[in-house]
A and B are shown apart, each in its own frame.
Chain A
Amino acid sequence: MIANTAFGILVLAELALVFASAVIVFGSRQDRRWLDSSRRAVQAAWFLVTLALGIFLYLLLENRVEFAAVYRVTRATLPFTAKLSALWGGQTGSLLFWTWLLGGAACVSATVGWKDLPQHKPWIVLFSAVPFAGFLFLVLFLENPFARWWLLPNGASTAQFLPPPGSSIILWPPDGVGLNPLLRHPAMVIHPPMLYLGFVIFVLPYALAMAALITGDWPRSLFEAIRISSLIAWFFLTLGLLLGSRWAYDVLGWGGYWGWDPVEIAGLLPWLSGSAALHLLIPRRRSASRQTWILAVILLTFSLVLLGSLLTRSGIVVSVHAFSESTLGTALMIIFLSISLASLALWGLRGRFPLDEPPDSESRLWTTLLHSSAVLFIFLVCVCLVGLFVPIVGEWFGGKPMMVGEAYYRQATGPLWIALLILTAIAPLWPMRLSTWQQMFRKMIPAVLGGGIAAGLSAWFFSLRLPEAALPFLAGFYLVLTLQVGVGAVGTGLGRGAGIRQCVDFLLSRRAAAAILHAGVFIFAFGVLGIEQYQHTTQGLLAPGGRMAAGEYSVRLNEIVQQPTSDERIVTVASLSLFSENPAGTTLLDEVFPRMDHDLTYQQTTAIPGVYSRLSGDLYILLTGVNLGETPSASIRVILNPLADFLWIGGLIMAAGALLLLTPHVFLSSSSSMSAPVSKVNTWAANGAGPTGGPPG
């Protein structure tokens, strides 16, 4: 009964979405009652999918393994958190969860008033409801979460929703398969929801962009709505990617955080194009070409979200993150192609912003730098797309399977990342009204000195080689320039009678939020530099009591213990003491316990590292093999990851910067109705700090 009810609920939801879409397309858009009715239908559809998701979650927690989707991902002995992760641990549950989140975004678009965009409102609702309806269709007809196991007359079994002909016996297996051991990490409870949220929220800027193209009306408030919704999506996507990296670092046991895996790249693509869009959205003045390209990049971003879904769920690519078995390939391809091609066609036909607004106080130099950042992000998208599609297309045309490895991505993306870091370093020049390159270079002199000192110190103390010393140079440059602009503006304000409140307002402005976000980028870059360029690996075979050196450290194997667990794993743990070796002597730092988990159901062994973490770097210790015979021994790999924590700290600071950009205070300071105090102090930043500025009014 519960399966039929839940399926019926999903059918009702799909009908509600079809009704909502039909009313907007064919109904009277002038009659607000019809529009209200369609909005309510989208809200009702999301409520119904929420009910169905709740029922599926109940089935998972109750271990109702007669349902195929439950059977494949859960097991009676799994702890609660793992059962929760099982919701998105399999293709079916994950698709239902994804659809629910997408429906949530559509529901938001149907609920928000869009007071400034009355003409656009029906189209915003429509273009957020259509992808929701498309994915719900897949849930209903291709990956039904409520399909059960049936016994066929010939003794075989099949999983489907309706009883197969000649059969009415439901199979009830004794227990489920259980969750893939790789997915039992705490980060998996939060990483997929964050990542999915980031992806699905991009449906809002997409719907806004489509509404602009259809109505031909491109008001300022529409671009502000696109900026805010893109920033929210970017925030969640950043957190999702960061948590995914942390999961890979903790679970996959290769000492890295990013493997340029096809699915990782598919997740990165919308982040890159979203970053490009956010940079294009910064200038306040609307120009014909920029507004046109903003819409193009927004449409591209949502197409990349759909492409990511296609690559992950169709089985086209082989990855540790992908769902290998799938019936969704063709349907997802149809959704991806129809939405992408329709967007492209509409943009090609109607993507012309009618006029350039008159120039304002923003310098042309500044907008050029922003455009350059956006172009670099789009180049990165292109490089990643080439890397993704060359093997797929090569195989389609009958060639041998091709591999595009990390070396390609490092070499192709490296110069682009460096160029982006250079642009990030000069970003604090934003408030200064610099109109010529000469003015800009003159203003940079203290920052160049600061960067030089930072590079020199890092070369002296940490023996940083020349190409890598560019990073501390850029970071020092950025820090000095930020302080020069920020402190200079506040100092000028205080000197001219500003109150503390006004200065605090300035420090909490959009500019300060962007400065924090970009500081996070540099901190993150230090983490990347440490792991990519200075990682050091030592491997050795140790008997209990044996010791081996690893750089300035050494490890001693104390004992090896192997025992079965209640959730059907055999866990082998090595107890290791970790010492610091320095001229003054040997110091015991800590004990670490790397282990190998062998899952009996999956017949899969996972190496979980023991990590000794400090700000200067991680000692990442893996148990890679074990011999428990008469003379026991363990194969130990010690990986030194300098500055690894900078990755997580930098990523969190980037997300915090994005969150700060979303605070109401920052909205206020960036909107057309800028509050007087903030506006005044911003003028100081422009006038007081800039060489062309006159006395503040």
Chain B
Amino acid sequence: MIVTAGMLLILLLLVALYVFQPFYWEKGDGGRHHIDTGPQLTGVDRESELEEAIARKRDELAGRED
């Protein structure tokens, strides 16, 4: 009985890990279902850095268009 319950608990855990994977690992399925929210600006905490980052991004996009 205990062995059966243990096996089912492990199975339940594995199923839960699989089912809730999108919540704890966004690119868990190889990025196919990754939500693309556009260009990301991360690690920016000062206004000047933000402006620099925006300018960099703009140049980058302009260069891509060329």
Residues of A bordering B, CB below 8 Å: 1, 4-5, 8-9, 12, 16, 19, 32-34, 36-37, 40-41, 43-44, 48, 113
Contact = CB atoms under 8 A, between A and B. Distances in A.
A16 B15 contact: yes
A113 B12 CA distance: 26
Given A5-B4, A8-B4, A36 B11 contact: no
Interface string B1-41: 10110011001100100111111001001001101000000
Given A32-B35, A48-B15, A40 B22 contact: yes
A113 B8 CA distance: 31
B35 A44 contact: no
Interface residues of B, number: 19
B57 to A, nearest CB: 25
Contact of B21 (A12, A16, A40): A40
* Max count, chain B CB within 10 A of own CB: residue among A16, A33, A34, A36: A36
A190 B3 CA distance: 37
Contacts of B21: 36-37, 40
A9 B19 contact: no
A1 B22 contact: no
Interface of B: 1, 3-4, 7-8, 11-12, 15, 18-23, 26, 29, 32-33, 35
B4 A44 contact: no
A102 to B, nearest CB: 19
29 contacts: A4-B1, A5-B4, A5-B7, A8-B7, A8-B8, A8-B11, A9-B8, A12-B8, A12-B12, A12-B15, A16-B19, A19-B19, A32-B22, A32-B33, A33-B22, A33-B23, A33-B26, A36-B21, A36-B22, A36-B29, A36-B33, A40-B22, A41-B19, A43-B18, A44-B15, A44-B18, A44-B19, A48-B11, A48-B15
Contacts of B8: 5, 8-9, 12
A37 B4 contact: no
Contacts of A19: 19
Contacts of A5: 4, 7-8
Nearest to A16: B15
Contacts of A40: 18-19, 21-22
Contacts of A43: 18
A36 B7 CA distance: 26
Contacts of B32: 113
Contacts of A12: 8, 11-12, 15
Nearest to B9: A8
B62 to A, nearest CB: 30
A4 B4 contact: yes
Contacts of B20: 37
A32 B29 CA distance: 13
Contacts of B35: 32-33
A19 B33 CA distance: 20
B32 to A, nearest CB: 8
A5 to B, nearest CB: 5
Given A16-B15, A33-B35, A44-B19, 10 more contacts: A1-B1, A16-B19, A32-B35, A36-B21, A36-B22, A36-B29, A37-B20, A40-B19, A40-B22, A43-B18
A5 B11 CA distance: 10
A43 B29 CA distance: 13
* Max count, chain A CB within 10 A of own CB: residue among B1, B3, B8, B26: B8
A33 B22 CA distance: 5
A33 B28 CA distance: 11
* Max count, chain B CB within 10 A of own CB: residue among A12, A33, A48: A33
A43 B35 CA distance: 21
A32 B33 CA distance: 8
Given A12-B12, A32-B33, A1 B19 contact: no
